[in-house]
Structure 1
Amino acid sequence: MKSSSFVNQERIVWADVLRFVAMFMVISVHCTDPFNISPAARLNPEYNFWGTIYGSILRPCVPLFVMLTGMLLLPVKQEIGLFYKKKLTRVVFPFLIWSVLYNLFPWFTGVMGYDSSIITKFFVYAGDAPSQAFKDSLHNIIMIPFTFTAFCTHMWYIYLLIGLYLFMPIFSAWVKEATDKQKRMYLYFWGITLFLPYIHEYVSNYIFGACPWNGRFDLFYYFAGFNGYLLLGHYLSKGNSWSVLKTLLISAFLFAIGYFVTYVGFGNRVADPRSTEEQIELFFLYCTPNVFLMTIAVFMISQKIKIDSPFWINIFANLTKCGFGIYMVHYFLVGPSFMIIDLLHIPIPIQIPVAASMTFGFAWLFTVFIYKLLPSKAKWIMG
């Protein structure tokens, strides 16, 4: 997950730490999939319980990345063509390379003589009997410009990231000239849009002018989406004047409210066998008020982090450098991490953090290895 980590040639150490936290949360989210998605696991109340606990607490992961991007890149200081060239090429090439590798994996397992069940052990969304035919892998590869597949579900974020990069130079022109009052007004309108997923579900599917012939282009559509997190990260980039204690207390209160709503809502949905996939995901949506509360709480606490040790500063700096590569490769490692957990008979309550730690560690080591092996070319492979 990309974003520059320098402002005035000085590292923002707390931002590096926050990026690590967000990255570990992302990997942990994917390690909850075997608990929350696998049909066998959903029949086990203990898996449901711990999947809901961990899954709910991890929802700020993606919004935190978007806030960091807005904080570090808004307003855009480069000419639009140079910005697009610098940002998009560093994202698009690794995205294409790894998307092809993920989608070739089912065919490769067939060539190696493995049963298709091995694919599901790697990718929980793959289903019970995924195809190992080359023509299906080729079809998935051809579709990469348009959509991701069950073998690389984490790539959904890259489509979003490319969209944010395309939007940022245009949005930046307003950000550069807008007053703090105008930015707050935008965020107020955006805050209203965070409630729309629940209004659509519990009040009316069509509201504020949205209708079958107008889709979702409703009254507040033009303020909706992750661009609000971009602006929020920029707006809060100067930090806050609160004491550490006040920040901790307020952040803990906000996080607790957001977590309670997320946990109760998701838990009720996943326990109901009649729930659709969209209904199960409703309280997990990133652009909802409950996830917003948890996100802003983590962001504000992170701003109070102070690290003076050169050793740890360099560690987090390296994690920032390797972050996109870790994201690209980690989805290959979630399944094998759970295979190791099964062999070690790790207790269910700690399986998710153990799997996340193994996945993160292996992905980081692999990314570092590629940078050492191909120092001048690694950026095109790992980002």
Structure 2
Amino acid sequence: MHTTQNTQWLNNLRVFATIAVITLHTCDSVYLFNIYNLNKWWVANIIDSSVRSCVPLFFMLSGALLLNKNETLHIFLKKRFIRIILPFVFWSLIYIAYWQILKIINGEEFALKTFVLFAINKLKTGAAVHLWYIYTILGLYFTFPILSKWIKNCKEIEIRYFLIIWAIIIISNLPLISLIKPNINMMFFTGYIGFPVLGYYLDQHISLSQKHYPLLMYIIGTVITIVGTYIISKTHNSFQHAFYDYITPNVILSSIGIFLFAKYLKIDNLIVLKIINTISKNSYGMYLVHILILLLMSKIGINNSFTHPAVGIPLTTIICIITSYSAISFLKRIPWGKYISG
């Protein structure tokens, strides 16, 4: 359980997830699976697999932070949606403008009607590859006021029951098992809704005295992701993402391990803490802008493939983190910038 005195670990976890998601998006060479040239692919696969917990951790953090709040429905929705929607709309329009500028550069003639239809379609489906998460978390937020009332008034065994059913459904959707599962409609227990409940449960009800158990969980889940991805990709002679999916037993195991490890990890260095807390305050904006930064970096030849991925991926990630933070920091300093920056 966290209080106002010991929420630092949540900031630590948010920063890890932010860095992890930026790292993940620099690993696109992992999709270029070639059985005759696996050296670089293995590096990208190992790094990508190691940070697959990033998105589940964001959902779990939302559950740990929000499901125990005592807020009226009006206050909850107003605070969450205003904070999320204004920056989301702003950056969506920036991405739409970017794609449109690219079209013009590539010789496509600008037509207002075509642009409006293009913009509407992008706003419906996501103006950039990572913005699906915002649509998903907004959808989850609609359930939180109800979910919060339930979770605060039920017994631990009832939360565990929910998570067990969620886990059973995830396992039953695995390729071989799905062939024999009965056709029972369990929609309420499926999808990303389990992650906030899991985050709340791990925060409020799980206490471990040693950090090596969570670390072992993370390692086991990550190794399964690494090896499983290689095996099925080699079998099909093309990249297969099944083990990369966020709602899989291996990624969930890794996510639980990191979540619990962060809960019991103590950082005492004041400089490190200041850096972590500064990034944490800007993490949403950094999430929104980082794909644009990576696209612009790639235009000038800075990406995971400008050198060996073992160097290219970390270096690209570091440059992107610094640039994303600088962009959001600058935007917050201009008039009204804090409302749209994230």
* Fold conserved between structures, TM > 0.5: yes
Q: Which runs of 5+ in 2 are unaligned?
A: none
Match of 1:88 in 2: 81
Does residue 50 in structure 1 map to residue 28 in structure 2? no
Which structure ranks higher in relative contact order (CA pairs < 8 Å, sequence separation ≥ 6)? 2
The alignment's C-alpha RMSD in Å is: 2.7
What's the TM-score, normalizing by structure 1? 0.80
Structure-2 separation of matches of 1:370 and 1:364: 10
Does residue 317 in structure 1 map to residue 277 in structure 2? yes
Structure-1 separation of matches of 2:178 and 2:268: 53
- Asked if the contact 2:11/2:277 (under 8 Å) is kept, the reply is yes
Match of 1:179 among 133, 155, 160: 155
- For residues 182-237 of structure 1, the C-alpha deviation after alignment (integer angstroms, 9 at most, x for no partner) is 11111111111221331xx234468421xxxxxxxx44332122221111111121
- Asked if the contact 1:109/1:132 (under 8 Å) is kept, the reply is no
Aligned-pair CA distance for 1:94 = 1.4
Match of 2:251 among 282, 291, 295: 291
Does residue 36 in structure 1 map to residue 30 in structure 2? yes
Match of 1:257 in 2: 220
- Asked if the contact 1:64/1:295 (under 8 Å) is kept, the reply is yes
The one-letter code of the counterpart of 1:28 is: T
Say which SS state the counterpart of residue 267 (structure 2) adopts: coil
- Asked if the contact 1:197/1:282 (under 8 Å) is kept, the reply is no
Does residue 247 in structure 1 map to residue 207 in structure 2? no
Aligned-pair CA distance for 1:86 = 1.2
The one-letter code of the counterpart of 1:202 is: L
Aligned-pair CA distance for 1:337 = 3.5
The one-letter code of the counterpart of 1:143 is: N
Matches within 5 A, 1:1-383: 9-10=4-5, 12-33=7-28, 35-37=29-31, 44-111=37-104, 114-115=105-106, 137-149=115-127, 152-198=128-174, 201-204=175-178, 207-209=181-183, 218-238=184-204, 240-243=206-209, 246-248=210-212, 250-271=213-234, 280-338=240-298, 339-341=300-302, 346-374=307-335, 377-383=336-342
- Asked if the contact 1:106/1:137 (under 8 Å) is kept, the reply is no
Aligned-pair CA distance for 1:257 = 1.9
Aligned-pair CA distance for 1:281 = 2.3
Paired-residue identity, % = 27
- Asked if the contact 2:228/2:243 (under 8 Å) is kept, the reply is yes
Say which SS state the counterpart of residue 241 (structure 2) adopts: helix
- Asked if the contact 1:19/1:65 (under 8 Å) is kept, the reply is yes
The one-letter code of the counterpart of 1:165 is: Y
Structure-2 separation of matches of 1:351 and 1:202: 37
Query: Judging changes above 3 Å, is the alpha-carbon distance between structure 1 residues 43 and 344 closer, same or farther for their aligned structure 2 residues?
Result: closer
Structure-2 separation of matches of 1:138 and 1:42: 43
The one-letter code of the counterpart of 1:352 is: I
Structure-2 separation of matches of 1:253 and 1:8: 27
Structure-2 separation of matches of 1:373 and 1:164: 32
Query: Judging changes above 3 Å, is the alpha-carbon distance between structure 1 residues 143 and 47 closer, same or farther for their aligned structure 2 residues?
Result: same
- For residues 325-346 of structure 1, the C-alpha deviation after alignment (integer angstroms, 9 at most, x for no partner) is 1011100111344444479953
Structure-2 separation of matches of 1:251 and 1:67: 15
Aligned-pair CA distance for 1:162 = 0.2
- Asked if the contact 1:239/1:300 (under 8 Å) is kept, the reply is no
- For residues 82-125 of structure 1, the C-alpha deviation after alignment (integer angstroms, 9 at most, x for no partner) is 211111121112111211221221321344xx448xxxxxxxxx
What's the TM-score, normalizing by structure 2? 0.89
Q: Which runs of 5+ in 1 are unaligned?
A: 1-6, 117-130, 210-217
Query: Judging changes above 3 Å, is the alpha-carbon distance between structure 1 residues 50 and 14 closer, same or farther for their aligned structure 2 residues?
Result: same
- Asked if the contact 1:25/1:61 (under 8 Å) is kept, the reply is yes
Structure-1 separation of matches of 2:109 and 2:219: 45
Query: Judging changes above 3 Å, is the alpha-carbon distance between structure 1 residues 330 and 42 closer, same or farther for their aligned structure 2 residues?
Result: farther
